Each structure stands twice: as structure tokens, then as C-alpha cells.
Amino acid sequence: MPESDYIWPVESIDNVRQAFLDFYESDDKCTYDSVDVAEVMVDDWWIKRFLIHERGNEDEALNKLINCLKWRKETEIRSIEDNHFPEEIYRIGALFNYGRDQNGLPTIYIRVKMVKKLKEISDLIKLYIAYTFYKVDKQSHGQGWGLIIDFNGAGVQNTDLELARTIAFCIKTYFPSSLEYLICVDFPWIFKAFWNVIKSWIPADRKFSLLFLSRSQLKDTIDPDYLPAFLGGNCPKSPTEAPLGCPKFVDYCVTELGLSQKAAEKVFAQYKPYL
């Protein structure tokens, strides 16, 4: 539900803002991004979203706000550019931002059959997920965004519980009150037990739409002109186009993740069929 649909006491927002300012003044300021702090001082959505998520509990909203701000500084999320990530991460197309839907909401797509559980690059995947969410969250600014998960062609080998936990934790902890709808496309029964675990991480207080649709039904919910071709859409935008200046996957794994050349090439070999 968009921010404008939530009615929230101004007093609560002011209380959390003042409590944060008091805490910030006595804390290590190097653990915060100055731009984030400046926005908290003037932008009610920064505080409102945590109050919504914590059902009005001002103390919990304050704690979650502080933790989020410190995480943003620790990851330097504002400083990351699209071309920080390996070219192949984009070309595989397992998770990507695909512009806006017919209602103007930013969207993220996940293709489960492209998921590989590889612990050697878990830090890369977690950062890429967080950055993708950061981008759409910034675009939507309180109006919400959509997540479409395509299960077509996926099997048990693609069930990465750790990845699912990362996605759920990231949304709830760092971008709360932002998910407007979640659509599962061609959801297979073999994922039922897996889904029972995942749904327990979805915040019950967030009023968003959860739909299980077939490919043919999807077009009734999202206009084909805004859907990628692999879901039967007409949008000409490529979901696997990499930004200019991206490093190669193996080079990134060696320089950024500290893997040996041999280990990096072994990991890359797992993704070659998708390229």
C-alpha cells in the first residue's frame, strides 16, 4: 500500500526523529552517511516506514532505523555504481530491475531456474540483491514496488534457502513497508514445503498483494507491454543487458572476493550454461 494510504500520527514521527537526533549526537558519527542523516531530518518517509513495520512502537522503530543507517554506511550502498558488479551477473538474468509496471511502480524479477547455490560468491550475491532493492526503493520513495518470481523450469536444485532468507531479511530490515505486491508465476507443488518456510518471513502487517498466477494469467495483472519476453510480454528492453564498464566475473572474484584464479574459474563454470 502506498505511503499516502497510511495515516500516521505526526507526533510519533517527530518523537522518533528527535530520539534519533539525540542518539546520533552521542554516537560515533563516522558510522553514518551524512546524506542519510540529512534526509532523516526532513523526510518523514524515512521514519514512517519503520513505524508502520513496527506497528507504532516508537522504540523499536528507532532501533530499526539506527541499524538500517549503520548498515547503509557499512556497505557504502550510496557509493556503489551499476558497473561495480560482474558483467555476467547481469547477463545471467537471475535477478534484475525491469523498470516500471503499468501503474508506474518499479519492479524486480527473479528467475528461480537461474539460481545457483554457491557459497564462494555469497557475499557478491547478497550485495547485488541489496543494491537492486536499494535502487527500486529509491525510485519508488514510499509508493511501493513489485516483486515477480518466475518458477518456470525450476527444480529442487534451485531451492536456495539462504538466498530466500537474504531476500526476506533485506526487505524487512532495510527496506520495510516497501513491497506493494509479490507475484509467483508457475509455482510448482514441489516448492510447497519450501514456500511454507518463506512465507513465515513475510511481515503480516504489510498490506500487499500476494498472487499465484500462471503465465497466461499474469497478463491480466501486468500489461504485456511492461513484461519481459520470457514471460510472454512485449517490452523490448533486454533483462540481461550489462552496464558499460563492468568487470569480468573471474576478475571480480579474484580481486574483490579473494578467490584464487582456479577457484574463480570453477565457480564461473557453474554459470556457463546460462550464458
Percentage above 70 pLDDT, the chain: 92
Range scoring the smallest mean pLDDT among 39-48, 198-207, 266-275: 198-207
What's the mean pLDDT when you consider all of the chain? Answer: 90
Give pLDDT, residue 115.
86
Positive or negative, the Cα torsion across 62, 125, 239, 230? negative
pLDDT in tens, 128-166: 999 999 999 999 988 999 999 999 988 877 877 788 888
3-state helix, strand, coil in the chain (%, to 5): 60, 10, 30
**Which is higher by pLDDT, 189 or 265?**
265
Q: Which domains does the chain possess? A: 3-79 (no CATH), 82-274 (3.40.525.10)
Look up cell 577457484; give the residue.
263
> Residue 107: is its pLDDT beyond 60?
yes
> Residue 269: is its pLDDT beyond 90?
yes
Give pLDDT, residue 6.
57
Range scoring the smallest mean pLDDT among 12-21, 28-37, 118-127, 241-250: 118-127
Mean pLDDT of 44-70: 95
Look up cell 504489510; give the residue.
206
Range scoring the smallest mean pLDDT among 35-49, 54-68, 72-86, 163-177: 163-177
> Residue 7: is its pLDDT beyond 70?
no
- Write the CB contacts of 167 (distance below 8 Å, at least 6 apart in sequence): 110, 129
> Residue 1: is its pLDDT beyond 80?
no
pLDDT in tens, 179-214: 999 999 998 877 776 677 667 666 555 556 788 899
